[in-house]
Amino acid sequence: MTAQEAMSKPLLQIENLKTYYPVRRGLFGRASGFVKAVDDVSLTLYEGETLGLVGESGCGKSSIGRSVVRLERPHAGRILFEGEDITSVSQRELRPVRLRLQMIFQDPYASLNPRMRIFDTLAEPMIAHQLIKRGDVQGEVDRLLQLVGLPRAAAYRYPHEFSGGQKQRIGIARALSLKPRLIVCDEPVSALDVSIQAQILGLLQDLQDELKLTCLFIAHGIGAVKQVSSRVAVMYLGQIVEIAPSELLFRKPRHPYTKLLLGAYHPPDPLFRGMERLIIQGDVPDPSDPPSGCRFHTRCPYAQERCRMEEPSLTKDPHAVACHYPLA
């Protein structure tokens, strides 16, 4: 199979996904509306690729990730994994799917059981899912620790005995232990020091190459996304506003919001030299009552009358944008 053919095989298809949370007000806590955290999002992940998902805090990135692994039940839309519709399957039916679909969380402290030695943390899911014979467990735990750059002796320690970066490595080893096809990484490095972030991102990149992992990589830091993603989707207030191959999106953003996000980011990278320093004005609107027309019009320096009235749809080309007046 050529790289091109491998690229064209979809592993995960998200179709018109809506994930809403009820807003409860008043004495009896009745739902008075919905936070439209994800509001009609369609995305496809191809085998072996890493798709970065960026946007400001609260725009719905985690809600997409959590819906994909079914920690949230979507309000509407479909999620197809390896061609199978997993949108509304029962928890029991989901069990075999979960093996192939793992999530790495932002907080390495909260995601490990403090009373379990690392050996058991890594061994237990493999044994529970009968992926391994008892006699092979030790060897597999050693292999996983080596894969994420930890010593074998780490297996006999407890989570509190590790640094944040080491805990995140353990979290990655645990996700890999079940040999998943897809990993959803939800801000896997944002709780860590910058130098440790670089190490973990480097590790993720090596693992992608070695294991041909498919990855949905969520972050609000553009830098992390740029390092690991082959394509990038930009999200604003529950919707995708731009999606393109990473190099193209960073070099030639077409949505004003993407340009502003990039303008707020100043890395020592020649790609960004000469780019104006820009600031995104105003607050993020209320996701339970999004603005009419284009949701970004209240903060967009280029907004015109049409933007207030008419909602732009995402174009279908490889560099897709949802804007009436995309940047040239």
Ligand X SMILES: Nc1ncnc2c1ncn2[C@@H]1O[C@H](COP(=O)(O)OP(=O)(O)OP(=O)(O)O)[C@@H](O)[C@H]1O
Shortest distance in whole angstroms from residue 72 CB to ligand X: 8
Report what 57 binds from Mg ion, ligand X, none; CB cut-off 5-8 Å by kind. Answer: ligand X
Residue (of 151, 133, 147) closest to 175 by Cα position: 147
36 binds, among ligand X, Mg ion, none (CB under 5 to 8 A by kind): none
Judged by beta carbon distances under 5 to 8 A according to partner kind, the member of Mg ion, ligand X, none in contact with residue 291 is: none
Q: Write the single-letter amino acid at 157.
A: R
Cα–Cα distance for residue pair 139/146, rounded to 1 Å: 11
Which residue, 31 or 309, has its beta carbon nearer to ligand X?
Answer: 31
Contacted entry of Mg ion, ligand X, none for residue 59, CB cut-off 5 to 8 Å set by kind: ligand X
* Opening angle at CA 82, ends 78 and 234, nearest 5: 55
Residue 21, contacted partner among ligand X, Mg ion, none, CB below 5-8 A by kind: ligand X
List strands edge to edge, sheet with 30-46: 30-46, 10-25, 76-81, 84-85
Counting every residue written for the chain, the total comes to: 328
Which does residue 287 touch among Mg ion, ligand X, none (CB within 5 to 8 A, set by kind)? ligand X
Nearest-approach distance from CB 127 to ligand X, in angstroms:
32
**Which residues lie near Mg ion (CB under 5 A)?**
62
Tell me which of ligand X, Mg ion, none is bound by residue 37, counting a contact when its beta carbon lies within the kind-specific cut-off of 5 to 8 angstroms. ligand X
Q: Which residues pair with 43 in a beta bridge?
A: 14
Residue nearest to Mg ion (CB): 62
**Nearer to ligand X (CB atom), residue 48 or residue 74:** 74
Minimum Å gap between C-beta 78 and Mg ion is: 22
Our CB check for ligand X shows the closer of 247 and 286 to be: 286
CB of residue 47 to ligand X, shortest distance in Å: 25
> How many CB atoms are closer than 10 A to CB 149?
16
- Decide whether 62 or 168 has the Cβ nearer to Mg ion: 62
- Could you tell me if 14 and 44 are in contact, meaning their C-beta atoms sit under 8 angstroms apart? yes
Interface positions with ligand X (CB under 6 A)? 21, 35, 37, 55, 57-63, 220, 287
Alpha-helix runs per DSSP H in 69-190: 91-100, 118-128, 137-147, 164-177
Q: Which is nearer to ligand X, 148 or 201 (CB)?
A: 201
CB of 23 to ligand X, least distance (A): 7
Provide the CB-side half-sphere exposure for 270 (13 A, CA): 0
Handedness of CA 168, 172, 177, 183 (dihedral sign): positive
Q: What is the rounded CA–CA span in Å between residue 291 and residue 215?
A: 32
The DSSP letter of residue 188 is T
Question: Six-digit token pair at 30?
Answer: 């009745």
Q: Which is nearer to ligand X, 220 or 259 (CB)?
A: 220
What span, in angstroms and rounded, lies between the C-alpha atoms of 61 and 296?
Answer: 17
Nearest distance in Å: CB 152, ligand X: 35
Q: Which is nearer to Mg ion, 62 or 102 (CB)?
A: 62
Q: How far is the CB of 26 from Mg ion (least distance, A)?
A: 28
The alpha carbon of 119 is separated from its chain's Cα centroid by a whole number of angstroms, namely 28
